[in-house]
Amino acid sequence: MNRFEGAREARIRYLDGDFQVMTPGAFVRCAVTGQSIPLDELKYWSVARQEPYLNAEVSLAREIEDDPSLRQRG
């Protein structure tokens, strides 16, 4: 059984260092992987794109996808 079966997906406004729940729910979906993220575990998002991410690796991959010049830094 899916952990979120019967639970609603939240609608979120992503802010700098915080987020605002616009429509209550138990989770959001990662913009890259489509996986469910419980709101109490949501740590990574883009304010500019208003997208949530499953983890730091997925967030970084999305940033590089959006701006390939980031790959060359280091």
pLDDT in tens, the chain (74 residues): 456 656 899 999 999 999 999 999 999 999 999 999 999 999 999 999 999 999 999 999 999 999 999 887 65
Residue 53 lies in a domain: yes
* Amino acid type, 30: C
DSSP annotation of 16 reads T
Residue range of the domain that includes 65: 11-72
Q: What is the pTM of this model?
A: 0.85
**C-alpha angle 10-15-21 in degrees, rounded to nearest 5:** 25
Provide the number of structural domains found in the chain: 1
Residue 2 lies in a domain: no
